[in-house]
Structure 1
Amino acid sequence: MVKPRLFAAVTIGSQSVTLKIMDISRQEILETLRSDVSIGTDIYNHKTIAASTMHETSTALAGFVQLMRDYDVTEYRVVATSSVREALNAEYVKEQIRLQTGLEIAWVSNAQERFLHSQAAAQKTPDFSQLISEGTMLIDIGSGSIQLTVYDEGEFMFSRNIKLGPLRVRELLAKLKVQTSNFADLLEDFIFSKIRDYAQFAPKDVAYKHFILIGTDLLFFKQAFMGGSDDHQITRDYFDQLYGHMLEIPEQVLAKRYQLSYDAISQLLPSAMLLKELLKVTKAESILLSDAELIDGILVEASVQHKKIKLNHDFNEDLLASAEHISRRYMTDQKHSELVRKFALHLFNQLKPLHGLKKRERLLLELAAILQDIGSFIDMNNHYIHSDYLIEATELIGLSEEEQKIVAAVARYHSTETPSSGDENFDRYDTATQLTIAKLTAILRIADALDDSHQQKVERIAVSLKKEQLQISVWANDDLMLEKWTFNEKAEFFAEVYGLKPQIIEKGGLS
């Protein structure tokens, strides 16, 4: 009998720590454990995690470790959410947990967290493809923030993170609650102001039909909103009725009615009010309540890596679509961007023996090619510097922090600056990351040089790599004096990185 391949996922969130043990081969959950913690309350009140909370968390995790040993689990991943990382003593807590339990915790950025969550929602939601073809907002509710992601006609449209999670809101307004006789009005004004800011940037031409609601820390929210429904979907009318009851009935009575703690109920009103405002803005017709959690996203990712499942939605395409929307928002030259992107990917594919990079780095190069000129919106003379910080400040769902910095750096160095030792910006990266940045930058600089005039003179290129010679043949429809001059300038850095100086060879026009 073949021994089952087991994998354990552990998440450390603002309100709970969770363990799931899965038989990857059979796609079967064998164990699920959850323990409540008060990390979020500590952070939002005091900005640090208290010693007692750290001990409470370590004790729960030690129990998880023992169960993993009982199952003989050797492969696992432990993730702490982005909200936990906000604690001023987060690194100290991480180290203490490692010493007390042996678990190596990985921080995830908000973008990574939302990516895993969305991946789980797509995999676990029936008819996900159909839903996003009809105008859908994916609402990822965490205790500290919410992520609003819009799909229409099956394509990614827009995503925005708002620090408006119910636990954060509750703790922020806790002092004001005792000073007012109408806390609901205060809460509504606060939430409305944030949603109004979002609405200014959201796509205006989407006809919304559905909300898909997910959120690791708000299981009680789903419990209250199910209303006995087997299909996990409620109508807008039902929501309006429930919302009216929540405003009329004291929290203690609500807690008893839904068999929830007072702490849980105190977060239910901000969540419901958030949905109310979003329904008002979007006029969506239904709310689908997904069971997907962050921990499920980790299991989905592990299953994909072990080639046990295939994703039913391509999130890399969403990532590229997001970059394209950002590029258009900053009014970049789209024809130039598209051609540089095309040439950069062709060069990457043909130069595999030289760079030794993989598909993931190819994706980073493609993103850098799309976003390289967004800084021109601020200053055309030093656009590459502004492109760098704009990319780092922009949320790209699915990239790690390191990957996002690589994209930003490659965009920075595609122009006149050259990555080199002694450059303060370049020196902040470790050697391996510097090497990746340099390899991708060298390729992007050559691709960009081939359309330096922004007139798309070069229609096609071909790459010939023979021992110590690299020839790039170009078919053009106009004089290439500027392109050739820029190409030769940027070929110097390519030679430094790869040990070969590319040569450009004109082949004439295609027409």
Structure 2
Amino acid sequence: MARKKSETQKTRAKPEAVIEIASTGVRLSIVEVVSQENAAENPNGKAGNARSVSWNTLDRSDVPITFGAEIFATGQIKQSSISQCIQILARYKEQLAAWGLAPQDATVIATSALRESHDSDSIVDRIFVRTGFAVRIIDGIEESRLMYIAVRECFKDSPINLAGDDFIILEAGGGTTEITLLKKGSIVGAHSFRLGAARVERRLGQVGATDTTQRYVRQFILNSKNSLNEELKNLKLKSFIAVGKIPQIAALYVGKPISTFLWEIPREKFFEFANEIQNYSVEECMARFKISYNDAAQMHTGFFIYETFFELSDAKTIIVPETNLREGVLISKIDSPDEELQQEFYKQISAGALNLLRKYHGDESHASYVAKISLEIFDELKDESALDKRARVLLEAAAMLHDIGIFVRMENHHLHSAYIISNSEFFGLGKSEITIISEIAKYHRGHANPQDEEQFQMLPRAERMMILKLTSIIRIADALDRGHTQKFEKLKFSRQKDSFIIDTGNRHNTVLERRALEEKGEMFESVFGYKVILS
């Protein structure tokens, strides 16, 4: 499934590089970005029907490391392994230089092993000081997002339409298993589970898919499925989309190509091949599949994880894309934003906020009303707020969740809201964005002043200003539904000199709302320079 270089290259651009520090290896991809005209002449580059760019692989490397084995056993990475990683990156630095690239030109990501290390900050700093590479540690949901982008690209020249059926994208790595649920092409769920071959083997102290390992994996997956039942019951699943080295190996031996970057494996053939693998020794896996010892040692458990997930579904086939996490990073980096894809992510963020609200039995009517008014105020102020569409999405999520902490206790519910949000996952949002939503919920009540909080002051200035602006908007919207009755069906907004006028139509008693605005309107006036007037 290796990709060939193009023989025809009219337009040459500066190469792009992505490095992935994973649980079992440090992987490098260097590609040449090609214009769409050249991509049409180049059948070997990755080009989609609607993409403005394609690329050819110029160089790649994959050096094994033992980060996962160590972190999942002790919670720490050995100094010798950190030194080995730095040496590998120093070697990659030389490879980049051969293509005219400096460390700052490369995008470097790290996944579950570094994510769970107690010393991750120190390790990232050492890597930067020694090699010049700036490492970004991504969370499990971000992995799912990037992998979805990569998978979506593979389907563009295929006879299978992602929007035509329901699918589950499954990637079982060394430390985590990422699952994305698709209904007619729309993302309806994304989850990251702490289940991976390296993690299981270290936790149980056993190598290979032993009886103990199989029982553990099966029980874990059954428990996970129970938590997904609400989402799964709405899917009519015909195929799994399996991502990773293990399904790619299976595709080479028992699958058939159905497009340039997609393979298909019948369910029973995958099971037969997976069972056959269990009879191989680690050395036999290394020799037959030309893989490293680390990868070979995890094949038995890895295959069993995929097999068990497939067994619990009625899917008849397994579709295997020829892609990886680095390609998702690459597409995000080199391609212009896909508006349709961005809208899909925004919808999923909103859906995730609503699902979380329902999980904690929040007041959905009040939350939706506050979100609606907040967005209307945001749109009214868009010419002077200096905030983008992304901020609008964060505002909607924060408005939906501002009162979620009432589930814990009414008193100090803003603090409980912040805690619940900060410890939740949202597909399409990184940690910093979840922090922004959490901070907005924390300060949505009128008496709290963010500038007095040390934690708030430690945030970057741009994030502080976004939090202040969005919090001030939610305070106004929340005040307009003080009685949780959604009494104002339609509001009109206007600005006159130093006043922000909210016209209610004069059909309701507004004493309660006026009093609430007196309590909660000060921040809005301070941030935007307008005194809120209810008419």
- The normalised TM-score by structure 1 is 0.88
> Match of 2:76, SS?
coil
Cα displacement (A) at 1:336: 2.2
CA contact (8 A) 1:220 1:264 kept: no
Q: Is 1:48 matched with 2:76?
A: yes
Q: Specify which of 364, 375, 397 is matched with residue 367 of structure 1.
A: 397
> Match of 1:471, SS?
strand
Cα displacement (A) at 1:410: 0.8
Cα displacement (A) at 1:329: 2.2
Aligned residues: 496
Counterpart of 1:208? 237
Cα displacement (A) at 1:255: 4.3
CA contact (8 A) 1:474 1:504 kept: yes
Q: 1:262-315 CA distances to partner (integer Å, 9 max, x unpaired)? A: 53233122222222322233322221112222211111111234x699749822
Structure 1 pair 326–56 and aligned structure 2 pair: CA distance change class (3 A): same
Structure 1 pair 128–341 and aligned structure 2 pair: CA distance change class (3 A): farther
Q: Specify which of 240, 256, 265 is matched with residue 271 of structure 2.
A: 240
CA contact (8 A) 1:135 1:206 kept: yes
Q: Is 1:29 matched with 2:56?
A: yes
Counterpart of 1:104? 134
Equivalents in 1 of 2:175, 2:454: separation in Å? 34
Cα displacement (A) at 1:186: 0.8
Counterpart of 2:215? 189
Counterpart of 1:458? 488
Equivalents in 2 of 1:470, 1:238: separation in Å? 66
Cα displacement (A) at 1:391: 0.9
Q: Is 1:439 matched with 2:469?
A: yes
Cα displacement (A) at 1:250: 4.5
Cα displacement (A) at 1:422: 3.0
Q: 1:159-182 CA distances to partner (integer Å, 9 max, x unpaired)? A: 2221111111122222x56xxxx9
Structure 1 pair 6–266 and aligned structure 2 pair: CA distance change class (3 A): closer
Counterpart of 2:5? none
Q: Specify which of 320, 323, 333 is matched with residue 289 of structure 1.
A: 320
Q: Is 1:348 matched with 2:378?
A: yes
Counterpart of 1:12? 21
CA contact (8 A) 2:72 2:203 kept: yes
CA contact (8 A) 2:176 2:195 kept: yes
Cα displacement (A) at 1:479: 2.9
More off after superposition, 489-498 vs 43-52: 43-52
Equivalents in 1 of 2:20, 2:143: separation in Å? 11
Counterpart of 2:166? 135
Cα displacement (A) at 1:480: 2.9
Counterpart of 1:63? 91
> Match of 2:451, SS?
coil
Using the aligned pairs only, state the percent identity: 26
- The normalised TM-score by structure 2 is 0.85
Structure 1 pair 435–43 and aligned structure 2 pair: CA distance change class (3 A): same
Letter in 2 for 1:28: W
Letter in 2 for 1:92: S
CA contact (8 A) 1:122 1:128 kept: no
CA contact (8 A) 2:26 2:63 kept: yes
- Which residues of structure 1 form unaligned runs of 5+? 506-511
Cα displacement (A) at 1:254: 4.5
Equivalents in 2 of 1:249, 1:140: separation in Å? 23
Cα displacement (A) at 1:446: 0.8
Q: Is 1:88 matched with 2:143?
A: no
Aligned pairs (5 A) from 1:337-416 = 337-416=367-446
CA contact (8 A) 1:18 1:32 kept: no
Counterpart of 1:508? none
Equivalents in 2 of 1:68, 1:266: separation in Å? 30
Q: Specify which of 222, 231, 236 is matched with residue 248 of structure 2.
A: 222
CA contact (8 A) 2:447 2:520 kept: no
Structure 1 pair 300–2 and aligned structure 2 pair: CA distance change class (3 A): closer
More off after superposition, 465-474 vs 293-302: 465-474
- Which residues of structure 2 form unaligned runs of 5+? 1-9, 36-53
More off after superposition, 439-448 vs 259-268: 259-268
Equivalents in 1 of 2:185, 2:431: separation in Å? 27
More off after superposition, 125-134 vs 3-12: 125-134
Letter in 1 for 2:17: A
Q: What is the Cα-based RMSD across aligned positions, in Å?
A: 2.7
